[in-house]
Amino acid sequence: MSDLARHIDSLSSARVLCVGDVMLDRFVYGAVDRVSPEAPIPVLRIERESAMLGGAGNVAANVMALGAGCRFISVIGDDGAGAELRRLVAGELGDAAGMVAQPGRQTTVKTRFIGGRQQLLRADAETVAPIAADSANLVSGMVRDALFDVGAVILSDYGKGVLTDKLLARVIAVARTAGLPVVVDPKGSDYRRYKGASIVTPNRKELMEATGMPADTDEQVAAACRRIIETCGIDAVLATRSERGMSVVTKDGLVAHLPAEAREVFDVSGAGDTVVATLTAALSAGVPLEDAARLANLAAGIVVGKVGTAVVRAPELLEALHTQEWRHGEAKVATREQAAECAERWRLRGKRVGFTNGCFDLLHPGHVSLLSQAKAACDVLVVGLNSDESVQRLKGPTRPVQSETARATVLASMAPVDLVVIFGEDTPEQLIKALRPDVLVKGADYTIDKVVGADFVQSYGGKVVLADLVAGQSTTNTIKRMAG
């Protein structure tokens, strides 16, 4: 385990080149209140929209999330969606110089329409055709220039036309001549296109399609992997097998079957992107193949517990490695981003997410009553906890009595509390907007119009609950009594 921990620490030194089909993943959220009079279809009342990097862009984002560096090269259309992708790449990866705009080509956009908790429709706009020769030459030149600064190469093939046969051969040849491992996330059934690659990473279905062989047992998977190695001129295969984990087979005779490490399989979207990103970043940092595969397996176990296409960060890998929480449940103290992901996951299961907040300096019966009433109003309860600096601003320089770590630990140990999030602002407004709770709970010494976030929660149909107070109970009074 200590070796894997050191390998995780080394990811920050990794430098990866990613080449492939970039996409714009767009999400349109809203509510469905009625059926259209024009046809028997739901009418979506749009409330918000978001966009994120998809395809090879998600692979590059996963590399960056691990703390590694990533050079990203792809081809987009000379259109509005392409311009939006360029802005996203610049913002998330730090450099959009590798985005080649080809006139007349349509940028791939996948738009998902979501009503409440249900995806209603996905609409795709794209050009599925080989990129022009001029674009391929530009990409090839960028690759040659980038190889001096990286330790490994990812070819992320989504079959949209960026990775033509000729370009694949060029990139693999120059990368292997430079002594760099080339990892391919493949598409289609003819893996001879990837001849000379170090590793291909098919899932179980892709492995069967590429070989025409069964892939149910460990022995069958190993045999299918060997078929690819022998017939396609590839050094190794890492086959992902969903709930059965992964298998690594090399031309040198290594066969390793890694059990799945998932805490909870909720959404497999983008899991392959996370696997290839983690594997390649580890190889770039000099991690041996089998250990790199173990890190990729660990990352896959984390990302399938998140909603939608997502990334895994190095601290999450370390946390999972040290505590094995993917087997024993999620930590109850989370960052704002982690809590938002948990809240979305709970909601998609039909659970009502509740939220309350406070300083919770010295826990007393009033706090216990508030938390019990809050939990009774929802299915899962998130508690926002003021940071030490926030408490000092609100209560004065002598407070808090206990540090935020101590207060969070005590809160997390309580049965009504499902998650604790420390926030540094004076109010939890930003945290409430990130979580979008179904139920907002505050003590009855407030009126609803004075509760921070009440208007926001009510705007999408959420409920505000005022909890009864326990007379004479407050941290201030407790401190006064302690002082004599």
- For 244, the 3-state DSSP assignment is helix
Q: Sign of the C-alpha dihedral, residues 376, 378, 380, 386?
A: negative
The answer for residues whose C-beta is within 8 angstroms of residue 150's C-beta and 6 or more apart is 15, 16, 17, 69, 71, 180, 284
Q: State which H helix or E strand residue 316 sits in.
A: helix 314-323
Residue with tokens 């987009």: 76
CA distance 207 to 158: 16
Q: Nearest-5° angle of CA 410, CA 468, CA 381?
A: 45
Identify the active-site residue in 21, 25, 157, 273: 273
Q: Is 273 a catalytic residue?
A: yes
CA distances from 232 to 147, 210, 229, 265 (A): 24, 10, 6, 33
The answer for residues whose C-beta is within 8 angstroms of residue 459's C-beta and 6 or more apart is none
Among the listed residues 436, 437, 458, the one whose alpha carbon sits nearest the alpha carbon of residue 50: 436
CA distance 470 to 186: 62
- For 370, the 3-state DSSP assignment is helix
CA distance 424 to 394: 11
Among the listed residues 308, 420, 348, the one whose alpha carbon sits nearest the alpha carbon of residue 53: 308
Which of the residues are catalytic?
273
